[in-house]
Structure formats: C-alpha cells, structure tokens
Amino acid sequence: MAHMQPLDASVTPELEDDFAIFIEILGFIPNSLLTMQRKPEMVKGFGVLTRAVMSKYGEVDLGLMRLIAHFASRAGGCQYCEAHSLIAANIHGISQEKLDAIWEYQSSDLYSEAERVALDYALAAGSVPNGVTAELMVKMKEHWTENQICEILGAVCLYGFLNRWNDSMATDLEESPKAMGQRVLAKGGWDGGKHVT
C-alpha cells in the first residue's frame, strides 16, 4: 500500500497541461504525479525535464529511450518504473515481441549491437555504485555520438529521480503497467513488490 495516497487530478487544475505530457507518454496520469501534485511546482519542473530528456526531436529513438529507462530502473530496483517504462516503450514503437524478449536482449536478434551496448550502459549508469567503466565508454562511442550518449544518460538520470520517488512512496502500480510487468517481467523475478496490494 502506498505511503501517501494520490490525489485526484482535479485537485490542481493548473496542472492539466503538465499531466497531458504523461497521458501522451503512458496513456494515463501516473499515481506518482498525482501524489507529487501536493507540490505543483515539482510536477511542472518534472514535466519540463521530461520534455527535454524525452524530446521527439532527439537523436535517439524514443522507444529505445524508454528501454534505457527500464534498464536504469532495473538497476535501481524500482519495480514501479520497470513496468511503466515498458508501457511507454510500447506506446513509442517498441513491439510487444521485442519487449517479450527483453530478458534475452544480449542474444535476441530483435536487439541490435548498438542497443545492447546502450542497455548495458543504462544498467551500469543506474547502479549504485556507478558501474560505467572506461571500457564501456569505448563501446558506447563505437555506436553512439557524444550527443546521443548525453541523451541516453539523460534518460538514466530522469528515471533515477522517479526510482527514488516511487520506491520511497511505495506508489501503487496502475493496471496496465501491472499487466505488462506480469507478462514480460515476472519470468525474471518481478512481482511488483511494494507497488501492488
């Protein structure tokens, strides 16, 4: 059960445009932001950062950016964000078949070598202590430009905030990400943890 209950979106009508960002990303307003709206400026600031990091004008595919967020969240241990990021990846063009093969990303033909390296990087960058090595950066630079690496790290860092928020709040997981977690992540040990009642 969540440590703090989300408020109805109508409580803070001035956040309607900010909430719309996340309806576009996920198809719904996440409980994390409905809880966070107690501090409206935080929701607004997070919306600005989300738009900047997950820009449709970026160089890295938006679906892959959501997979990067997933791997960063896996490293951080936030089961709420692990499931959410897969919903967003699917909405942004990653096929269900590719998501279903996420545990085999290192060997699946559905993942390119560039994607494998980026996902390894997300796991390393999302870990505490940080696991990014000089060798891993060499591999990244073989596949990604410096601008693209900045975008990729931005996704890791954006979800670092969400991982801390949602695990500390024990945010209740909504139905669609819960179903995605059960379909894709359960075979790797995911059970929703503190985010399911």
Question: What are the tens digits of pLDDT across the range 113-157?
Answer: 999 999 999 999 999 999 999 999 999 999 999 999 999 999 999
Domain count, the chain: 1
Provide the pLDDT for residue 1. 86
Lookup: tokens for 118: 């980026």
Provide the pLDDT for residue 11. 97
Q: Cβ contacts of residue 83 below 8 Å, gap of 6+? A: 173, 177, 178, 180, 181, 185, 190, 192
197 located within any domain: no
88 located within any domain: yes
119 located within any domain: yes
Q: What percent of the chain has pLDDT over 70?
A: 100
37 located within any domain: no
Instruction: Convert the pLDDT of each residue in 38-88 to its tens digit.
Output: 999 999 999 999 999 999 999 999 999 999 999 999 999 999 999 999 999
Q: Cβ contacts of residue 194 below 8 Å, gap of 6+? A: 79, 167, 170
13 located within any domain: no
CATH number at residue 112: 1.20.1290.10
Residue 148 structural domain: 60-189
123 located within any domain: yes
* Residue 37 pLDDT level (bands cut at 50, 70, 90): very high
Look at residue 197 and tell me whether its pLDDT is greater than 90.
no
Lookup: tokens for 106: 């290192």
Instruction: Convert the pLDDT of each residue in 90-120 to its tens digit.
Output: 999 999 999 999 999 999 999 999 999 999 9
Look at residue 172 and tell me whether its pLDDT is greater than 90.
yes
C-beta of residue 81 within 8 angstroms of C-beta of residue 164: no
17 located within any domain: no
Provide the pLDDT for residue 195. 97
The reported pTM is 0.96
What are the C-alpha distances in Å from 17 to residues 22, 27, 100?
A: 9, 14, 33
Instruction: Convert the pLDDT of each residue in 177-190 to its tens digit.
Output: 999 999 999 999 99
**What does the alpha-carbon distance between residue 108 and residue 101 come to, in Å, rounded to a whole number?**
7
Lookup: tokens for 131: 């696991």
